């Protein structure tokens, strides 16, 4: 379980096809504090740590990174997320939003995020508004009913508030801080982003469906 508050931006060091795709990510997390089997949200996708190490232990990392960790990405995950799709699939040098799993007692600064991506949204417009940036996205039609004005969505693992909705199109605002501490400062029109709708919206829709039966 996560909150959608990005705590680091890692860099992909290597990818390797071995049935699943093995990915090595440099990060600022102390590798000594990362347990094998731990969950880390990578661009909003909950992935399991299968190896980790300090600089020089199997990987060269830049001076601002504390170490690295490996995850395996299944064919199912590649098919349902932006990891293997769009103009910026995961490859060495690409940066990735990271969040470690929520611990009991942690501050819940965003909203409850599972790391189970529902679909992929496309950025269709970027418009400066004062110091902020308005981002317009197109969601898959099947997910549009779960996105509501002033509701929450997780986009590439970032908890964001929906400003407006029109059909399958919706808008969000990015303040300068968010763009500075996440990968959102690199956003471009045409980018695909991982979309997770609010868990509450999903259950409300299911309850409504059940009541109509």
Residue 118 has pLDDT above 70, yes or no: yes
For residue range 31-85, list pLDDT tens digits in order.
999 999 999 999 999 999 999 999 988 888 898 999 999 999 999 999 999 999 9
Beta-strand ranges (E) seen in 117-168 are: 119-129, 132-138, 152-155, 158-166
For residue range 137-180, list pLDDT tens digits in order.
999 999 999 999 999 999 999 999 999 999 999 999 999 999 99
Q: What is the pLDDT of residue 103?
A: 79
Residue 102 has pLDDT above 90, yes or no: no
> 89 lies in a domain?
yes
Ramachandran bin of 44, using left for φ above 0, alpha for ψ from -120 to 50, beta for the remaining angles: left
Separation in Å, CA 167 to CA 80, 121, 127, 192: 22, 13, 20, 18
Percent of the chain with pLDDT over 90: 80
> 47 lies in a domain?
yes
> 48 lies in a domain?
yes
User: Are both 139 and 82 inside the same structural domain?
Assistant: no
φ, ψ at 39 (rounded to 5°): -100, 135
Beta bridge partners of 147: none
User: Are both 81 and 131 inside the same structural domain?
Assistant: no
User: Are both 34 and 69 inside the same structural domain?
Assistant: yes
Q: What is the pLDDT of residue 203?
A: 65
Give yes or no for a contact between 124 and 169, defined as CB atoms under 8 angstroms apart.
yes
Q: What is the pLDDT of residue 55?
A: 92
Q: What is the pLDDT of residue 72?
A: 97
For the entire predicted model, the pTM comes to: 0.93
User: Are both 75 and 156 inside the same structural domain?
Assistant: no
Q: What is the pLDDT of residue 206?
A: 63
Most confident range, picked from 13-22, 154-163, 199-208? 154-163
User: Are both 96 and 123 inside the same structural domain?
Assistant: no
Domain boundary among 42, 70, 100: 100
Q: What is the pLDDT of residue 106?
A: 72
> 206 lies in a domain?
yes
**Domain enclosing residue 153, as ranges:** 119-212
Beta bridge partners of 18: 20
Domain boundary among 49, 69, 100: 100
Whole-number Å distance between alpha carbons of 15 and 71? 10
Query: 151: domain CATH number?
Result: 2.40.30.20
> 114 lies in a domain?
no
> 111 lies in a domain?
no
User: Are both 76 and 132 inside the same structural domain?
Assistant: no
- Stronger pLDDT, 194 or 58, i.e. the higher one: 194
Q: What is the pLDDT of residue 178?
A: 97
Domain boundary among 40, 67, 100: 100
User: Are both 80 and 23 inside the same structural domain?
Assistant: yes
Whole-number Å distance between alpha carbons of 189 and 166? 18
Separation in Å, CA 79 to CA 73, 74, 183: 10, 9, 22
Q: Count of domains in the chain?
A: 2
Exposure on the CB side of residue 129, measured as CA atoms within 13 A? 13
Q: What is the pLDDT of residue 169?
A: 98
Quick one: average pLDDT of 199-209? Answer: 69
Round the average pLDDT of the chain to a whole number and report it.
93
> 185 lies in a domain?
yes
């Amino acid at each position: 379980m996560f909150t959608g508050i990005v705590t680091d931006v890692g860099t992909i060091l290597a990818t390797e096809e071995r049935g699943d795709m093995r990915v090595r990510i440099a990060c600022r997390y102390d590798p000594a504090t990362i347990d094998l089997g731990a969950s880390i949200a990578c661009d909003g996708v909950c992935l399991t740590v299968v190896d980790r190490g300090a600089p020089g232990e199997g990987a060269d990392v830049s001076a601002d990174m504390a170490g690295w960790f490996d995850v395996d990405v299944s064919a199912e995950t590649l098919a349902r997320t932006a990891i293997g799709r769009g103009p910026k699939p995961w490859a060495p040098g690409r940066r990735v939003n990271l969040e470690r799993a929520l611990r009991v007692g942690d501050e819940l600064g965003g909203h409850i995020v599972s790391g189970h991506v529902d679909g992929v949204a496309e950025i269709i417009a970027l418009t400066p508004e004062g110091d902020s940036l308005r981002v317009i996205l197109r969601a898959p039609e099947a997910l549009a009913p779960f996105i509501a004005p002033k509701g929450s969505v997780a986009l590439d693992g970032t908890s964001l508030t929906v400003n407006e909705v029109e059909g399958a199109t919706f808008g969000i605002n990015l303040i300068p801080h968010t763009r500075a501490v996440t990968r959102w400062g690199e956003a471009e029109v045409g980018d695909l982003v991982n979309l997770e709708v609010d868990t509450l919206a999903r259950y409300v829709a299911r309850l409504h469906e059940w009541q109509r039966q």
